[in-house]
C-alpha cells in the first residue's frame, strides 16, 4: 500500500510482510510492458520487497463514490504519483507516446504537489464528522 509521497521519495507498506519501505522516485516507472502484450499505461510495479512480494499500483480514471474514505485517499495519492512520475520522465518507453497524447489527469487525483507538501495516506478510514 502506498503510504506517503514527499519531496524526494515515497513510502510503502508491503502487503506481504507489513514492512514500511522508503524508495526514491527514480526507482519507479509509470506504465509497464510485457513482451507480446499491449502497453499497460495505468500500471506501476513497485520494487520487489525483501520478502519477495511484488506489488502493483493502478491508476484510476473514475471518481471514488466515497471521497473521504481511506481507499479514495489512496487512489488519489496513486494518481498523483503517476502524474509526478510522468512529469519527471520516469516512464516505460512503450507508454511514453500514450502519456504524451493525454490531455488531462484522472479526475480523482490529489491536488497537492508532494514536492512542496507531503501527502500521507491514512491506514484506516478517517473518523466521520
CB atoms within 10 A of CB 39: 17
- The confidence score (pLDDT) of residue 129 equals 61
Q: Which 8-state DSSP code applies to residue 114?
A: T
User: Residues with Cβ < 8 Å from 29, sequence gap 6 or more?
Assistant: 44, 45, 85, 90, 91, 92
| Residue among 50, 49, 58, 69 at smallest CA distance from 128 | 69
Task: Go through 75-96 and write b for each residue having 16 or more CB atoms within 10 A of its CB, e for each that does not.
Answer: bbbbbbbbbbbbeeebbbebbb
Task: Report the chain's mean pLDDT, rounded to a whole number.
Answer: 92
- The confidence score (pLDDT) of residue 64 equals 86
- Convert the pLDDT of each residue in 14-36 to its tens digit: 999 999 999 999 999 999 988 88
Question: What is the percentage of the chain residues whose pLDDT exceeds 90?
Answer: 78
CB atoms within 10 A of CB 105: 15
Which cell is 106 given? Answer: 484522472
- Convert the pLDDT of each residue in 32-77 to its tens digit: 988 888 999 999 999 999 999 999 999 999 988 888 889 999 999 9
Mean local confidence (pLDDT), 95-123: 94
Rg (C-alpha) for the chain, rounded Å, is 15
Question: What is the percentage of the chain residues whose pLDDT exceeds 70?
Answer: 97
Amino acid at each position: 500500500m502506498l503510504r506517503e509521497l514527499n519531496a524526494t521519495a515515497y513510502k510503502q507498506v508491503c502487503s506481504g510482510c507489513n514492512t514500511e519501505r522508503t524508495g526514491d522516485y527514480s526507482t519507479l516507472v509509470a506504465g509497464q510492458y510485457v513482451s507480446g502484450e499491449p502497453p499497460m499505461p495505468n500500471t506501476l510495479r513497485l520494487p520487489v520487497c525483501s520478502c519477495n512480494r511484488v506489488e502493483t499500483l493502478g491508476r484510476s480514471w473514475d471518481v471514488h463514490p466515497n471521497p473521504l474514505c481511506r481507499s479514495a485517499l489512496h487512489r488519489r495519492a496513486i494518481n498523483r504519483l503517476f502524474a509526478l512520475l510522468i512529469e519527471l520522465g520516469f516512464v516505460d518507453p512503450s507508454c511514453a507516446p500514450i502519456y504524451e497524447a493525454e490531455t488531462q489527469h484522472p479526475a480523482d487525483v490529489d491536488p497537492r504537489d508532494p514536492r512542496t507538501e507531503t501527502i500521507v495516506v491514512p491506514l484506516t478510514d478517517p473518523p466521520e464528522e
